[in-house]
Structure 1
Amino acid sequence: MDLLDDLLAGVRASGAVYCRSVARPPWAVRFAAPAPLSLTTMLRGTGWIARDGGEPVRAEPGDIVLLRGGAPIVAGDRPGAEPEIVVLDADRCYAADGGPSTAGHNFRLGPRTFGLVPDGSDLFVTAEYPMRGDVSERLLEALPPVAAVPARPDFAPLLDLLAVEVAREEPGQQIILDRLLDMLLVRALRAWFARPDAEPPAGYRALGDPHVGRALRLMHEDPARPWTVAELAAEAGQSRAVFARRFTELVGRPPLAYLTEWRMTLAADLLREPGATVASVARRVGYADGFAFSNAFKRVRGAAPSSVLRDAANA
């Protein structure tokens, strides 16, 4: 496990909602209730994609556009196009001039496929990711509201397979689509975070450093271990002073401060699990007693772990 593995653990697709749209210019579609993270890609034609009220970004075949925040999404063949169709979910949509009361299976052309014409020149797919917990939130915070990732050679085989599989309805189809979506998301995130102007999560770029990267992977593999800077430096093959300085330069905070923050992020999710207690979560993130854990959690998160337990129980 490394940082990206952990951040993606709560984003892993499970029953992801797909919408395959077939269109002929002029066209525009509004997705009224997207998930906190959506992935859109043009398979044929050119599209313009935007969060509701935001600036549209151009998408050519093979590009991937990530949208976060759960705001409505508008996709069209030109900037500022007025939507003709409003999509509510995988099974319901309606003509924009007809109103929500007409929502149903209108415009359904096949499995996960909607459109006004069955043989339109433009084809795009939107998939929605459920997001769970504070670990996933760290990933969302590192993304802009709209991240347009240009086509890359490593996207092509996955998009070709997606184009075939998304319109099928066979045993195990959802599992295939979920795993395809996971692979596309990981590749899109790696491409986005490699940009010089991107702001990846703390520690992401340090994974490429042979010394600091190894220490980060060890902390993520076993966050409950009572790590010391000296132990991490020895694992990294550096002196304590050199390692601590290099880690802070690359990650933006000292090794043990980073470890504490990561433990508290994990703890916030663990506290929401059924049957969790402060003492049980404390042990799982490396604290011998609940008192020390509670102090650390409140210092880092600004609230007592007991308040997270109460909120989870009342949710």
Structure 2
Amino acid sequence: MVDPLAEVVSLLRPGAPFSKLVVASAPWAVRRAEMGRPFYFVVLEGGCRLTIDGPRGGETLTLQEGDFALIPAARGFATSSLDRQPPHVDEAVTTPIAPMPGGARVGDPDGAVDARLLVGNCVFGSPDAALLVPLLPQWLHVRGERRLSMLVQLVGEESRAERPAREVVMARLLEVLLIEALRVPAGRSAGTSASPGLVRALADPKLAPALRRMHERPADAWTVAQLAHEAALSRSAFFERFSRAVGVAPMAYLLAWRMALARQMLRQRELAIAEIAERVGYSSVSTFGVAFTRHVGMPPGRYASRTLYDPA
């Protein structure tokens, strides 16, 4: 059985080589602006609040010890101690922040520690990450998962130890932690949640079969009616439910996945463009070329030539 999330994660090639320890004393608040890079939080001790900026004022999550949170394309977010709400975009932040080996001390340096966090930027090794990340949720929050809790514990122990090759081990543990978090179906437990995206949709027993069919047979001439049949829903009910769970309409998702596969095959340079077009559901090179150019920003031939010298 094809696993859509595994395919997307495999193409993204996630890693977590950058991390720092944040030790905080209440009351504290920190606001950060990012340039669309993936950012993660591992709560080693205590807890905090996290607000992810959004078009409707953002969403605030309460993070507890053992939790993992991921923002695949962070723009702006704020964190704070549990005794206050994170600062808004236009709110001034005056909490003192002092550098320390391997991280930062936040709040009163002589105060009682109320939270220890491991935070940092992830990396997606795929050159097409910007086009694949929209298939993921805007944010992912995982709690109460035994395997993930064990990884968080290992990360915490490694961060506090002075062992040889600590940085290498930390990077590998964080990479596994990142992949494990993406595999946890949203909604499986009370503490596991995600904004709209592939993770949430795969947790829906009605939508999951339709998503698997799209990934198993991307070349099929799918229609919304056919996919609705796979989901055992009416056409209108399927369209609305899919769009709400994934964040895009069914045909837009299918197009994004076909283009992701096409880009991968073009980079591998093992197939002719005509065969690639057929494998992703296009009856002619010209119709494939038009769709690819509109989605990627350049014709398939030019994309293949460019990646010949930059195959990363």
Report the TM-score when normalising by structure 1: 0.62
Instruction: Give the fraction of aligned pairs with identical amino acids, expressed as a percent.
Output: 23
Q: Which of 160, 168, 174 does residue 177 from structure 1 map onto?
A: 174
Structure 2 match to 1:164: 157
Q: Which of 269, 289, 296 does residue 294 from structure 1 map onto?
A: 289
Structure 2 match to 1:217: 212
Task: Letter of the 1:82 partner, please give it.
Answer: T
Structure 2 match to 1:128: 121
Correspondence 1:65 to 2:65: no
Deviation of residue 216 (structure 1)? Answer: 4.0
Mapping for residues 268-283 of structure 1, pairs under 5 Å: 268=263, 270-271=265-266, 273=267, 278-279=273-274, 281-282=276-277
Structure 2 match to 1:36: 37
Correspondence 1:263 to 2:258: yes
For residues 196-234 of structure 1, give each alpha carbon's deviation from its aligned partner in whole angstroms, at most 9, with x where no partner exists: 99533499348624xx745643542454xx5466xxx8x
Mapping for residues 1-315 of structure 1, pairs under 5 Å: 1-29=2-30, 33=34, 36-50=37-51, 57-77=61-81, 78=84, 79-80=86-87, 81-85=93-97, 95=98, 106-108=99-101, 112-115=102-105, 120-131=113-124, 132=126, 134=128, 137-140=131-134, 143-144=137-138, 147=139, 149=141, 151-154=143-146, 155-168=148-161, 169-171=163-165, 173=169, 174-187=171-184, 189=186, 198-201=195-198, 204-205=201-202, 208-209=205-206, 213-214=208-209, 216-221=211-216, 223=218, 226-227=219-220, 242-243=229-230, 246=233, 248=235, 249-250=237-238, 252=242, 259=254, 261-268=256-263, 270-271=265-266, 273=267, 278-279=273-274, 281-282=276-277, 285=280, 290-298=285-293, 304-306=299-301, 308=303
Q: Give 1 or 2: higher strand fraction.
A: 2
For residues 39-90 of structure 1, give each alpha carbon's deviation from its aligned partner in whole angstroms, at most 9, with x where no partner exists: 21322223233458976543332333333433354433243353433xxxxx
Deviation of residue 179 (structure 1)? Answer: 0.9
Hey, what's the Cα distance between the residues in 2 that align with 1:193 and 1:143?
A: 17
Report the TM-score when normalising by structure 2: 0.63
Deviation of residue 295 (structure 1)? Answer: 3.8
Structure label with greater radius of gyration:
1
Consecutive unaligned residues of structure 1, counting only runs of 5 or more, are: 86-94, 96-105, 234-239
Structure 2 match to 1:102: none
Hey, what's the Cα distance between the residues in 2 that align with 1:207 and 1:180?
A: 23
For residues 146-203 of structure 1, give each alpha carbon's deviation from its aligned partner in whole angstroms, at most 9, with x where no partner exists: x473632444333223322344554451323311222134327565999899533499
Change (3 A) 1:15 1:302: closer
Q: Is the 8 A contact 1:192 1:198 kept in 2?
A: no
Q: Is the 8 A contact 1:10 1:136 kept in 2?
A: no
Task: Letter of the 1:181 partner, please give it.
Answer: L
Consecutive unaligned residues of structure 2, counting only runs of 5 or more, are: 88-92, 244-248
SS across alignment from 2:121: strand
Hey, what's the Cα distance between the residues in 2 that align with 1:278 and 1:135?
A: 22
